[in-house]
Structure 1
Amino acid sequence: MESFDYYLDQYAELAIRVGLNVQKDQTVVITTPIACADFVRKLAKKAYEAGAKDVVVDWDDDEVKALRLKHAPEDTLKTYPMWRATGLEEMARDGAAFLSVYAPNSELLKDVAPDRVAMSSKAAATAREGYLQYVRGNKVNWLLVSYPTAEWSAKVFPGLDESERITKLWEQIFTLTRVDQADPVAAWKTHIDTLTAKQQSLNSHKFKQLHFQAPGTDLYIELAPKHQWVAAGSESEKGIFFVPNIPTEEVFTMPARNGTNGTVRSTLPLSYQGSLIDGFSLTFKDGRVVEATAEIGQEVLDNMLNMDEGARYLGEVALVPYDSPISQSGIIYYNTLFDENASCHVALGNAYPFTIEGGTTMTPEELAENGYNKSLIHVDFMIGSPDMEIDGIMADGTRLPVFRKGNWA
């Protein structure tokens, strides 16, 4: 069996060459917790080897962030350093590539008043809106990957000591990202081809609605008139093919802003801004969440929904079979990047312009006319289960089975 260092090196190579697809003379911006420093050094080395002209690292520290949210004067929580926001936007405008290393800690802010977290989150999202338009519109190549930390591994494998649980989490990541295969790049090409075939099949049907049924869920989602299903890879404004999430198992598109009706229940916990929301149900009327209840994290859920008007509407619907490798691992990862690829999911908040035909070149007014939802947030939550039934409904009312018993029909 190969050594850990070998697999970590392969993981970094996959992130830079396949996920981000760094180009010659491109600047690479890495946003990361300081706990991931050893991995970031590997990423930087791989980026330079791929031809990057510069690697800019934006270090973050969860503990310092928590201290600020607990102790800083309330007025300061309503601000965000504009030099950071404008710097990111400037680098995006100049064609940089953006890589985020995500290591969630769902217990981090459990003792912080949720309204203080909401203030800070809204300030950051508002200040970074210009930069986020580059990412959400696929104007730049970007990537999200994860790295096991002591805190995250403790949530996933609470019965093991720190060394054992981090090793076990790494083993899962190497398997689920196909890094442990003989040729990870070839394995990803095959995987992308498989997802692309599903994407093309869904696009050929031009469904008007999807009907989701499962215990606690009876939901109709109208799709945007010009919706297009997207899978795995995307192309940036400069024609760079990249895979924004590693791992990825989803095929997704844009709901029509005002076309969701019914009730949906979450099937996996949601780690949001350092807090946990679990056992929650949402009721929609004409696209808008009109009722929301949670067994855990009700105040956090309410603050998320009240972030802005668009936070109560859907921006994404994604299909993932229950027999996906992540689901079959039988592990709840408390990490949206992994959990969303174990389950069908929807996202509250901002839609992706590239999920409608011609969306990336539309004006804001044209996007709105085509069912686009605008918001400061984009939060995926999981609704899939082995009982999930999904029908695609055509314009004439004809129904076609899309999912049966949690998997592709």
Structure 2
Amino acid sequence: MTFQEKLAQFAELAVKVGVNIQKGQTLLINTTTDTIEFTRLVVKEAYAAGAGRVTVNFSDGEIDRAFFDNAPEDEFAKYPRWISEQRDELIERKGALLWIDAADPDLLSGVSVSKLSAQQKAAGKALANYRNAVMNDKVAWAIIAVPSKQWAAKVFPNVEADKQVEALWEAIFKTVRIGEGNAVENWQGHLENLDTRAAILNAKRFAKLHYTAPGTDLTIELPDKHIWQTGASKTPENTSFVANMPTEEVYTMPSKYGVNGTVSNTKPLVFQGNIIDDFKLTFENGKIVKAEAGVGNDLLQELIKADEGSKYLGEVALVPHESPISASNILYYNTLFDENASNHLAIGEAYPTCYEGGSALSPEQLEEHGINTSITHEDFMIGSANMNIDGVLADGTVEPIFRNGSWAF
């Protein structure tokens, strides 16, 4: 298969499996100037699949950095209303959203934590309706990624400079199952396998999970009506979509006040263009009571202070250590990939869809049921070949879920 054939399959995959565009449906693409050639393929593929109108928002890394370096201080506490209004209109029209990421992991390195925090809070408030739509699967949405020169150099520093982008392209193709046969058909089989895992976990009805690994001894209670899900979701109109490509996870929500113990990360977290690494979190009754990081500690402290919900967990995700991304031994410095190489948790908001009837609950009702709400949702990786996870049933029976980083069933 030639490089151009792989690109064409990737564009088709994003449109037909990722957002699964419907006849006459509006599509909004958010991406960067690094992706323009590939984005053109996606736009053409979307129209060929029957999209009504495709709109593309391009950002640029240097321009984004210039904002943080040069804008007046009071601008960081503001967020453009036209951005939220564009997304609100798309939600009203039942459109689809696609992100094509090519971000430089170090883009905002050195920017003051106060600026980053102020902008995060402003965006969180302005995009509340959008966040609610995404977290509740009210619209089809998907995130994919393609290489930029800066990102490729970060991932492959020992490869010749003129071959780094090519190397990252090939690595990405493998993670999204492009290169052998029909990618759309490959994904159908992959999602069926994940659904089988989720069905087993849903049948078990575990009351809690117990994680043990070097630097980790953590117990997570699960709500009575929790639901294990996979990367395949459905809108209220019963349109299927895959939010993350790649995806290797089976996930659910924790009980907000039922997390106790300590957990250590095993891969760096890229947050707001900066790296947070070598960190440990301590929980008491769900709340983070201690957080320490060897790299990016100030930013970690701001992350967990973004709002009250940022001090609690919102997601529990299981990924075997031998997943294709993990087996590649590539550190992507991009959560979309690295979270699918490792068991992970998320600080902040829970997906209401992981609770029976959760999408119909108000914020107050979510709190009553122990479901966390927040302006944040940041995944961080904790899995390794040394991690064991036990499931504890309501009667106290303990059953293995993971042994040495892999499924025990």
TM-score (norm 1): 0.98
Contact 1:226-1:370 within 8 A present in 2 as well: no
Aligned to 2:320: 321
Contact 2:363-2:373 within 8 A present in 1 as well: no
> Within 5 A, what are the aligned runs for 1:142-153?
142-153=141-152
> Within 5 A, what are the aligned runs for 1:15-94?
15-94=14-93
The Cα offsets for residues 228-287 of structure 1, whole Å up to 9 and x where unpaired, read as: 000121001111011111110000001011110000000000111100001000000110
Dislocated runs of 4+, deviation >6 Å? none
The letter of the residue matching 1:115 is S
The letter of the residue matching 1:234 is S
The letter of the residue matching 1:157 is F
The letter of the residue matching 1:125 is G
The letter of the residue matching 1:393 is V
SS at match of 1:306: coil
Aligned to 2:98: 99
SS at match of 1:144: strand
Distance 2:75 2:256 in 1: 34
Percent sequence identity is 45
Contact 2:61-2:103 within 8 A present in 1 as well: no
Aligned to 1:175: 174
Contact 1:223-1:254 within 8 A present in 2 as well: yes
The letter of the residue matching 1:108 is L
Matched, 1:387 2:386: yes
Distance 2:365 2:204 in 1: 24
Distance 2:40 2:161 in 1: 23
Matched, 1:5 2:27: no
The Cα offsets for residues 80-108 of structure 1, whole Å up to 9 and x where unpaired, read as: 01111122112112101000111232211
The Cα offsets for residues 8-30 of structure 1, whole Å up to 9 and x where unpaired, read as: 11000001001110000000000
Across the two proteins, how many residue pairs are aligned to each other? Answer: 408
> Within 5 A, what are the aligned runs for 1:193-342?
193-342=192-341
The Cα offsets for residues 102-158 of structure 1, whole Å up to 9 and x where unpaired, read as: 123221111211111111121112111111111111000000000100111111001
Contact 1:196-1:232 within 8 A present in 2 as well: no
Matched, 1:155 2:166: no
In structure 2, list runs of 5 or more residues that go unmatched: none
Deviation at 1:363, TM superposition (A): 2.4
**Segment drifting more, 340-349 vs 111-120:** 111-120
Contact 1:287-1:314 within 8 A present in 2 as well: yes
Aligned to 1:138: 137
Distance 1:81 1:164 in 2: 38
**Segment drifting more, 365-374 vs 165-174:** 365-374
Deviation at 1:218, TM superposition (A): 0.2
Distance 1:133 1:34 in 2: 28
Distance 1:212 1:196 in 2: 23
Contact 1:225-1:371 within 8 A present in 2 as well: no
TM-score (norm 2): 0.98
Distance 2:209 2:92 in 1: 37
Distance 1:237 1:62 in 2: 35
> Within 5 A, what are the aligned runs for 1:181-196?
181-196=180-195
Distance 2:28 2:82 in 1: 15
SS at match of 2:97: strand
The letter of the residue matching 1:208 is A
Distance 1:222 1:248 in 2: 24
